[in-house]
Structure 1
Amino acid sequence: MREGAKALFPNYGSRYNLAFVKGEGSRLWDENGKQYLDLMSGIAVTNLGHVPKQVADRLKEQIDQIWHTSNLFHIPNQEKLAQLLTDNSCGDAVFFGNSGAEANEAAIKLARRYFNKVLGKPEQYEIISFQQSFHGRTLATLTATGQDKVKEGFAPLPIGFAYAPYNDAEALEQAITPQTCAIMLEMVQGEGGVNRANPEFIKQVVALCEQHGLLLIVDEIQTGVGRTGKLFAYEHYGIEPDIFTLAKGLGSGMPIGAMVGKEKLREAFSAGSHGSTFGGNYLSTAAGVATLETILEGKLSERAAEMGDYIVSELSKQLADNPLVSEVRGLGLLIGIECTQPVADLITTLQEHAVLVISAGPNVIRLAPSLLITKEEVDEGLAVICSVLGKHAQQAQAATAVQ
Structure 2
Amino acid sequence: MARLRVPDEDAMTDLTLSDLLNRVTPSPTLAVTQKARELRAEGRDVKALAAGEPDFDTPEHVKEAAIKAIRDGKTGYTAVDGIPELKQAVADKFERDNGLTYDPGTEIAVTPGGKYMIFATMLATLNPGDEVVIPAPYWVSYPDMVKIAGGVPVIVETREEDGYVLTPEALERHITPRTRWVILNSPSNPTGVVYGPEATRALADVLLRHPQVWALSDDIYEHVIYDATFCTLASVEPELKDRTLTMNGASKAYAMTGWRIGYGGGPKPLMAAIRKVLSQSTSNPCSISQWATLAALEGDHGFLGERNTAFRDRRDRVHAALNEAPGISCLLPQGAFYLYPSCAGVIGKSFLSRKIESDLDFAEALLEQEAVAVVPGTAFGAAPAFRVSYATDMETLEEACRRIKRFCESLN
| TM-score, normalised via structure 2 length | 0.64
Instruction: Indicate which of 244, 247, 269 corresponds to 1:245.
Output: 247
Cα separation, 1, equivalents of 2:91 and 2:335: 25
Which runs of no fewer than 5 residues in structure 2 stay unpaired? 1-6, 9-24, 159-165, 347-361, 379-384
Partner of 1:57: 64
Partner of 2:74: 66
Partner of 1:43: 52
Partner of 1:282: 287
Q: Deviations 1:71-105 (Å, cap 9, x if unpaired)?
A: 17983553354244333334423211213332113
Q: Calculate percent identity across the aligned residue pairs.
A: 15
Instruction: Indicate which of 75, 95, 99 corresponds to 2:109.
Output: 95
Instruction: Check conservation: 2:217, 2:233, Cα contact below 8 A.
Output: no
- The Cα shift of 1:219 comes to 1.9
The amino acid across from 2:150 in the alignment is: P
Partner of 1:381: 396
- The Cα shift of 1:134 comes to 3.2
Instruction: Indicate which of 261, 266, 270 corresponds to 1:256.
Output: 261
**SS at 1:177 equivalent:** coil
- The Cα shift of 1:36 comes to 9.0
Q: Deviations 1:323-370 (Å, cap 9, x if unpaired)?
A: 142114322342215152523443567767xxxx64252532422427
Q: How many residues align?
A: 337
Partner of 1:359: 375
Q: For 1:285-300, what aligned pairs fall within 5 Å after superposition?
A: 285-293=290-298, 297-298=301-302, 300=304
Q: For 1:57-206, what aligned pairs fall within 5 Å after superposition?
A: 57-64=64-71, 65-71=73-79, 75-87=83-95, 88-91=97-100, 92=102, 93-108=107-122, 126-134=131-139, 136=141, 142=144, 144=146, 158-159=150-151, 162-166=154-158, 167-191=166-190, 194=192, 197=195, 201-206=199-204
For residues 17 and 386 of structure 1, do their structure 2 counterparts lie closer, same or farther at Cα, with a shift above 3 Å needed?
closer
Cα separation, 2, equivalents of 1:255 and 1:331: 26
- The Cα shift of 1:298 comes to 1.0
Partner of 1:18: 37
- The Cα shift of 1:111 comes to 6.3
Cα separation, 1, equivalents of 2:228 and 2:169: 30
Say which is worse superposed, 251-260 or 338-347, in terms of deviation: 338-347
The amino acid across from 1:164 in the alignment is: V
**SS at 1:386 equivalent:** helix
Which runs of no fewer than 5 residues in structure 1 stay unpaired? 1-5, 20-29, 113-121, 145-150, 371-376
| TM-score, normalised via structure 1 length | 0.66
Partner of 1:212: 210
**SS at 1:283 equivalent:** helix
Give the RMSD, CA atoms, in angstroms: 4.5
Partner of 1:148: none
Instruction: Check conservation: 1:336, 1:366, Cα contact below 8 A.
Output: yes
For residues 160 and 187 of structure 1, do their structure 2 counterparts lie closer, same or farther at Cα, with a shift above 3 Å needed?
same
**SS at 1:206 equivalent:** helix
Partner of 2:161: none
- The Cα shift of 1:268 comes to 4.2
Q: Deviations 1:154-186 (Å, cap 9, x if unpaired)?
A: 7xx714654433423223212223444442222
- The Cα shift of 1:206 comes to 0.9
